[in-house]
Structure 1
Amino acid sequence: MRLQRPLLIPLITALVAGFAVLVPASPGAAAPPKPPAGFVHPGVLVDKAQLDFARQQVQAGAQPQKAAYDAMKASTYAAIDYTPMPRAIVECGSNSIPNYGCTDERNDALAAYTDALIWYIDRDPRYARKAIEIMDAWSAVLQDHVNTNAPLQTGWSGASWSRAGELIKHTFPGEWVQRGRFETMLRDVYLPEIRNGAGCKNGNWEMIMMDAMIGIAVFLDDRADFDQAINIWRGRLPGYVYEKSDGPYPKAASTCPLDTRQEIVDYWQGQEVFSDGLAQETCRDFGHTGWGLTAATQVAETAWHQGVNLYAEGKDRLMDGYAFHTQYETGTPIPANLCGGTVKLGLGPVTEVVYNHYHNRLGLPMPTTLAYTESKRPMGANYFFAWETLTHANNPR
């Protein structure tokens, strides 16, 4: 049986964080669009201006978008004869063992998003229809996610489903007969699994779940769940990335109440020396840390397109978090007081969106993040993120 932790977000924290959105940007800094009465569409991770720029770059043969597009088009996700593998119950245990539909669902969601992007770039309706075919296949049968990894699996797949659905719903003029059924699937199967956060699971879980939740909320025009995703993000980020201003040790995430320094140290994988940008999973491995950081960034990017500047609220933590980890990925020796002098590298292709915001939109230097980003281009697709060199490289729109 999965135990559900009640959501624990202090009212004062939520009110203070909500006020932070109203603080004006510094002179000369980019600002998100003015919050609209409704949602901006398309506006899950990418908006129309970014999509149009990517399309223009590909048509002109400009890099790095052309190489990124070619890699996407050549991937198995883009096969026009791709066959979805839906099932009624997706069962995912720890490390996806057992794996009954886990990989199939993630891959099918990524394939649907891939097809939606190809449709937008090429205007070939076959790819839009293939995306619809994949989404329809799952909405016809899926009933639940079960076992210990169910919330994380829901987040991984839900993030990609929301991006695929958003692009087709708001850019494809053709008919999508079963769109309402797909919307019902996201509302009734996905949102209940992720709505209350991840409690004291490792922080990448909750960030990934919020990435899915904010995308689904925008796709469904659901303001309450949009606000809920933002509130949980605000409560998790300070509990995921440390800043010296937090005090001698990290804060607890709002959904995971830890009362003592030793509880915090244990939760932070036994690390006892804290530096700006250290993450809760750094001493676990850089791969899961990269998931947490990029999911946090993707939430901020979707919020940005909807007029909410989470990037400003999380600026130091996000910039320092990526700088801290990319320095070691690009050759800085590991200090003896970090994870006992040994770390598991492998941050992954997760830096394109954050670099685009803080450097290309705001003009802030991120030298190690840039070096790492360029070494990973073109960035591909994995679990819950895909083709971000195509959509976000040098694309501050």
Structure 2
Amino acid sequence: MSRTSPHQALHHPPLSRRGLLRTAGGLTAAALGAFAAAPTTATAAPATFTHPGMLHNAGDINRAKVRVAAGTDPWLSGWRKLTADSHSTATWTPRATATVVRGGTGQNYHLLYNDIAAAYQNALRWQVGGTEANAACAARILNAWSTTLTSVTGDADRFLASGLYGWQFANVCELMRGYAGFDLAAAQEMLVKVFYPLNHDFLTRHNGACVTNYWANWDLCNMASVMAIGILNDDGAKYDQAVTYFTSGAGNGSIAHAVPYLYTDPAGYALGQWQESGRDQGHTVMGMGQMGAVCEMAWNQGDDLYSYDGRRFLKAAQYVAKYNLGGDVPYTTYTWGTGQSCARTSQTVISSASRGQVRPVWAMLHYHYNRRLGLDDKYVSRMCSSVAPEGGGGDYGPDSGGYDQLGFGTLMYAK
């Protein structure tokens, strides 16, 4: 196996799809795929944001609507997965509270992640199925939290809550944008006052610890929240903050730190060691969902982070998928600084803990790299097939790990 050195090739900025669309007057998806690995000059946030433009764009929604109505698989199987989840019922009652606590005494954050899952699933049922009752339910949940929540607190885990639930809440708001019963302004204000300060504080101070102390997912979820809030609020500065951190941030969530080593396997596939691979596979697979969310949101605003630095994220996804399918992958000892003093610690072998764990993160990646760009994503493709149709919150256990991603990728991303 060949291996390249860590943190390399940082001179490759993301492709600006906006620039290509402007200069070419519009290109086909195949044409965009042909350009996707080319280094070019990065651009700032769009002058006008695209809405809906986070995890799902108008084309995604229309395709799911048409295919489900026609009874076509795999969309129909994805739809049935959605409607079978109890969170998607229009009778869901929100349990909004003024203070959400994650970590330490008085934890109650399950109230928030369950309500977000319910709001998202009801929003999807409205967007795809057209049912007014589901729209009203989603709006009711969002409005309750937007007008009630004033703080997210707890021990260090409060930063996980600020990241995960910030980007998820903003994504549901984006789906409900324009619905008469939804108070968009209240949601925008709450996200800026409650979630963004924690997101920003973590990305700049890392809770007062060594910048590498926290795992990649901590950076990624807070980065995703900053990006989502930026899009929802048409705030270019916040959007740019997230993109800049992805490409060159100091913490473990930036692309070169999240994927520190590159390899080529015997079959000729490029692989990238994920930063949390020596920890366990549950958090490693979680990382595919968190980085995927950042890349998908950026894509829908015209920036191709999926292809940044020679498609470094695809290499990581292939690595994680191959190992969790039971294959062998190389591993280089990973060393990083911990605590406030940056004391050095190392992981010498890849962890088999929770190997093969199922999370609904693979459809987004497969349908981007394989269908949008026409690339051979052998291991990601196999993983996507093995877990389809993807569900969401409520389908993967009652604990928070089952709610770290919104899910339903088969329904919304199949192409």
What's the counterpart of residue 388 of structure 1?
409
Say whether the 8 Å CA contact 1:293–1:322 is kept in structure 2. yes
What's the counterpart of residue 40 of structure 2?
none
Instruction: Indicate yes or no: 2:364 matched with 1:356.
Output: no
Say whether the 8 Å CA contact 2:322–2:329 is kept in structure 1. no
Map 1:193-232 → 2, pairs under 5 A: 193-196=198-201, 197=203, 198=206, 199=211, 200-232=213-245
Relative to structure 1, the CA distance from residue 384 to residue 329 in structure 2 (aligned partners, 3 Å threshold; closer, same or farther) is: closer
Say whether the 8 Å CA contact 1:157–1:384 is kept in structure 2. no
Map 1:45-124 → 2, pairs under 5 A: 45-93=55-103, 97-98=104-105, 100-124=107-131
- Secondary structure at the counterpart of residue 285 of structure 2: helix
The CA deviation at 1:293 is 2.2
Distance in structure 2 (CA, Å) of the matches to 1:208 and 1:180: 23
What's the counterpart of residue 257 of structure 2?
239
Say whether the 8 Å CA contact 2:89–2:134 is kept in structure 1. no
Relative to structure 1, the CA distance from residue 244 to residue 87 in structure 2 (aligned partners, 3 Å threshold; closer, same or farther) is: same
The CA deviation at 1:186 is 0.7
The CA deviation at 1:101 is 2.2
The CA deviation at 1:39 is 0.2
Residue type of the alignment partner of 1:390: L
Relative to structure 1, the CA distance from residue 99 to residue 205 in structure 2 (aligned partners, 3 Å threshold; closer, same or farther) is: farther
The CA deviation at 1:19 is 7.4
Relative to structure 1, the CA distance from residue 167 to residue 154 in structure 2 (aligned partners, 3 Å threshold; closer, same or farther) is: same
Relative to structure 1, the CA distance from residue 27 to residue 52 in structure 2 (aligned partners, 3 Å threshold; closer, same or farther) is: closer
The CA deviation at 1:127 is 0.9
Relative to structure 1, the CA distance from residue 121 to residue 99 in structure 2 (aligned partners, 3 Å threshold; closer, same or farther) is: farther
Relative to structure 1, the CA distance from residue 20 to residue 243 in structure 2 (aligned partners, 3 Å threshold; closer, same or farther) is: farther
Say whether the 8 Å CA contact 2:99–2:153 is kept in structure 1. yes
Cα shift readout 1:344-385 (whole Å, capped 9, x = no counterpart): 212622111111111101110011111110110111113232
The CA deviation at 1:29 is 3.7
Relative to structure 1, the CA distance from residue 237 to residue 78 in structure 2 (aligned partners, 3 Å threshold; closer, same or farther) is: same
- Secondary structure at the counterpart of residue 386 of structure 1: coil
Distance in structure 1 (CA, Å) of the matches to 2:96 and 2:366: 36
What's the counterpart of residue 258 of structure 1?
none
Give ranges in structure 1 of 5+ residues lacking alignment. 1-12, 246-274
The CA deviation at 1:209 is 1.4
What's the counterpart of residue 172 of structure 2?
164
Moved more, 209-218 or 279-288: 209-218
What's the counterpart of residue 296 of structure 1?
291
What's the counterpart of residue 127 of structure 1?
134
- Secondary structure at the counterpart of residue 385 of structure 1: coil
Instruction: Indicate yes or no: 2:306 matched with 1:311.
Output: yes
Say whether the 8 Å CA contact 1:241–1:280 is kept in structure 2. yes
What RMSD, in angstroms, separates the aligned Cα atoms of the two structures?
A: 2.8
Relative to structure 1, the CA distance from residue 241 to residue 124 in structure 2 (aligned partners, 3 Å threshold; closer, same or farther) is: same
The CA deviation at 1:37 is 2.4
What's the counterpart of residue 152 of structure 1?
160
Distance in structure 2 (CA, Å) of the matches to 1:27 and 1:58: 25
**Which of 323, 343, 355 is 2:352 aligned to?**
343
Map 1:7-26 → 2, pairs under 5 A: 21=16
Map 1:223-302 → 2, pairs under 5 A: 223-234=236-247, 235=249, 236-244=254-262, 276-302=271-297
What TM-score comes out, normalization by structure 1 length? 0.80
What TM-score comes out, normalization by structure 2 length? 0.76
Distance in structure 2 (CA, Å) of the matches to 1:105 and 1:27: 40
- Secondary structure at the counterpart of residue 280 of structure 1: coil
- Secondary structure at the counterpart of residue 62 of structure 1: coil
What's the counterpart of residue 3 of structure 2?
none
Say whether the 8 Å CA contact 1:297–1:353 is kept in structure 2. yes
The CA deviation at 1:342 is 4.8
Relative to structure 1, the CA distance from residue 301 to residue 314 in structure 2 (aligned partners, 3 Å threshold; closer, same or farther) is: farther
Say whether the 8 Å CA contact 1:115–1:130 is kept in structure 2. yes
What's the counterpart of residue 323 of structure 2?
328
Identity %: 26
Residue type of the alignment partner of 1:240: A
Cα shift readout 1:249-284 (whole Å, capped 9, x = no counterpart): xxxxxxxxxxxxxxxxxxxxxxxxxx9411110011
**Which of 370, 373, 387 is 1:376 aligned to?**
387
Distance in structure 2 (CA, Å) of the matches to 1:337 and 1:307: 35
Cα shift readout 1:107-165 (whole Å, capped 9, x = no counterpart): 11121111111111111111111111101111222111112211111111112211111
Cα shift readout 1:42-63 (whole Å, capped 9, x = no counterpart): 0011100111001111111111
Number of equivalenced pairs: 345
Moved more, 138-147 or 191-200: 191-200
Residue type of the alignment partner of 2:174: E
What's the counterpart of residue 187 of structure 1?
192
